[in-house]
Structure 1
Amino acid sequence: MLKIPVTELFSSIQGEGPYVGARQIFLRLPKCNLNCPYCDTETIIPEKCRMESIPGSKDFRMLKNPIELNELIELLRSYDFSLHHSISITGGEPLLWADELQLLLPLIREYNLPVYLETNGTLPKQLDKILPFVDIISMDIKLPFGEKVFWNVHEDFLRKSLSKNVFLKIVVDEKAKLQDLQNARDLIANVDPSLLTILQPVTKINGIESPKPRQILDWQRLFLEKLKNVRVIPQTHVFMGQL
C-alpha cells in the first residue's frame, strides 16, 4: 500500500479566508516548493507525525512517518464527519504529494466529506491530477519576493481552478509594492473579476510588519476598481489560540 508523510492531523477552526470559524479536519503535509519570508509553518518531513488522540482535544500522539493510506483513512474515521464542514488538505504545499493524494482523496470523498485544498497556486500540472476530487480551492496569489515572480503560473493555475469553488488570498505586509498589487489585481480581473479576493494582512513575523490601517483601505479600494468582491480578513486563529 502506498504511503504518505504527514506533519499532523487534527480538528480545529479555520482561521483564514471566507470560511473563518468553520470547523474542519486539518491534514497537514510537509515540504514546500517556495520559501515565503512570512511563512510560520515548519515544512520538513518529520520522523513522526502528530495525530490528535481525541479530535479537538489538542492532545497528540506520535506515529511513525510515512503512513500507509489505508491506515490514514482509519485514523480519519475516528472523527465525527457530521461536526466538520470539510477536510483541509494543507501544508507546506500539498500538491507536492499529488500522486499520493490522487489515491487518498477519492477514499475521503466516499464519506461525503468535502475536500478543501489550501495551495500556493504554483503547481498547475499537479493540480490536474487531483482536481476531480477537490470541492473548494483556497489559492494564494504570491507577490514577488527575492527573484521569484509567479504571475504566469498563477494565471494558469487559476484558470484550471474555475470549475471549482475557488477564492484568492493575497498576504500583504507594510512594504508591499503598489505595482505588484496592481499586477495581482489585473491578473484576477483578466480571468474573472467576480472571484472572491481576500487581502490578508501579514501576522508580524521575522521583522515583517503588518500594513498600516490606511494602507489596507487604500489597497482594498485599488482592488475594487476592477474586482467585484474584495474582503480584508486577518489570520483569526492566531488570536483565538487555535492551531
Structure 2
Amino acid sequence: MLKLPVTEIFSSIQGEGPYVGVRQIFLRLPNCNLRCPYCDTVTTAPQQLRMETEAGSGVFNMSENPVPIEKLIKLLQIYDFSLHHSLSITGGEPLLWVNELRAILPFLREKGIKIYLETNGTLPEQLHKILPWVDIISMDIKLPFDGQSFWDVHESFLRSSLQKEVFVKIVVHQETSLTELQYARDLIVAVDPLLPTILQPVTATNEINTPKPYQLLEWQSFFLKKLTNVRVIPQTHVFMGQL
C-alpha cells in the first residue's frame, strides 16, 4: 500500500508571492534536497502527522505517519474546497515525493480544487511526472550558497514550467550581491521576460539580515530594466501571525 509521510495539513492564508492573501489548504511534506541558510522550516519527517481539526481553528490532532494515500485523500476533503483558492503542496521539497503525488493529485483535481506547487526549482525530471495535474508553480531561484549554484537546472526547470502558470521568487538579504542578481535576471530574461518575478526580503534568521529599503528599491529597478513584472513582497504571514 502506497503511503506518504506528511508534516502537517492546515488551512491558512498564502503569505508569499502574487497570490498573497488567498485562502489555501496547505499540505506540507518533509525532506529537502537543499539546505538553504535562511530556511525557517523543519524538513525532517515527523513520527506523526499534525492536522488542523477544523479549517482556520489552529487546533491540531496528531495521527499516524506515513499516511496511506486513500486516507490522505479523505483527510484533505474534510476541508471545504469551495472556500479555498487552491491546495498548496509545499515542503521541504514536494518533488521528492512524485510517485505518491501522482497517486493523489488526479483525485484532488477531479474534486475541483487547483493544485499550487511550491518548489525550489531544482528537480525538472520529477516535475514532468506530475505536471499534468499542477495548475500554478511557485518556483524559487536559489542564489548561490555554500559553493553551490543552480543556474542550469533552474533554467531547465523554468522552461518546463512554462506549460503552466508560473512565477519566480528570489529570496534576498543584506549581503546579496548584484552579480548574483544579474545572473538571476538574465536567466529569467532568456526564458521569458514577461514572467512575474518576486523579490522576497528574507525574514531575519540565523544572523541573515533583511535588506535595507534602499537595497530593495535599487534591486527592483535593476530587474525592471529587462523584466516587465517585478514586485517586492515579504513573508506577510509572518507579521500577520498566520501559519
Matches within 5 A, 1:90-105: 90-105=90-105
User: Does the residue aligned with 2:234 lie in a helix, a strand or coil?
Assistant: coil
Counterpart-to-counterpart distance in 1, 2:211 and 2:54:
38
The percent of aligned pairs where both chains have the same amino acid is 68
Counterpart-to-counterpart distance in 2, 1:44 and 1:15:
23
Pair 1:202 & 2:168 matched: no
Matches within 5 A, 1:222-233: 222-233=222-233
Moved more, 164-173 or 52-61: 52-61
Give the alignment's Cα RMSD to 1 decimal.
Answer: 0.5
TM-score normalised over the length of structure 2: 0.99
Instruction: Measure how far apart 1:110 and its partner are.
Output: 1.0
Matches within 5 A, 1:53-64: 53-64=53-64
Matches within 5 A, 1:1-243: 1-243=1-243
Question: Counterpart of 2:191 in structure 1: which amino acid?
Answer: V
User: Does the residue aligned with 1:26 lie in a helix, a strand or coil?
Assistant: strand
Counterpart-to-counterpart distance in 1, 2:99 and 2:75:
20
Runs of 4+ deviating beyond 3 Å = none
Residues 110-149 of structure 1: CA deviation (Å, up to 9, x unaligned)? 1010000000000000001000000000000000001110
Question: Counterpart of 1:200 in structure 2: which amino acid?
Answer: Q
Question: Counterpart of 1:9 in structure 2: which amino acid?
Answer: I
Counterpart-to-counterpart distance in 2, 1:123 and 1:188:
17
Instruction: Measure how far apart 1:55 and its partner are.
Output: 1.4
Residues 143-198 of structure 1: CA deviation (Å, up to 9, x unaligned)? 00011100000000000000100000000000001100000000000000000000
